[in-house]
Structure 1
Amino acid sequence: GFCIGIQVINEGSTKVEDWELTFQMNQAAINNSWNGNFQPRNRENSQSSKDYVVTPLDWGGLIEPGQSRHLGFCANKLGSDYKPQQMYASGQ
Structure 2
Amino acid sequence: MSKYGQYCPIAQALEIVGDRWTLLIIRDMLTGTTQFNDLERGLPGLSRGLLAARLRQLQAAGVVEKQFNNSGRKTTEYHLTEAGQELQTVITA
TM-score of the superposed pair, with normalisation by structure 2 = 0.33
The higher-RCO structure (CA 8 Å, 6+ apart) is 1
Give the structure with the larger helix fraction.
2
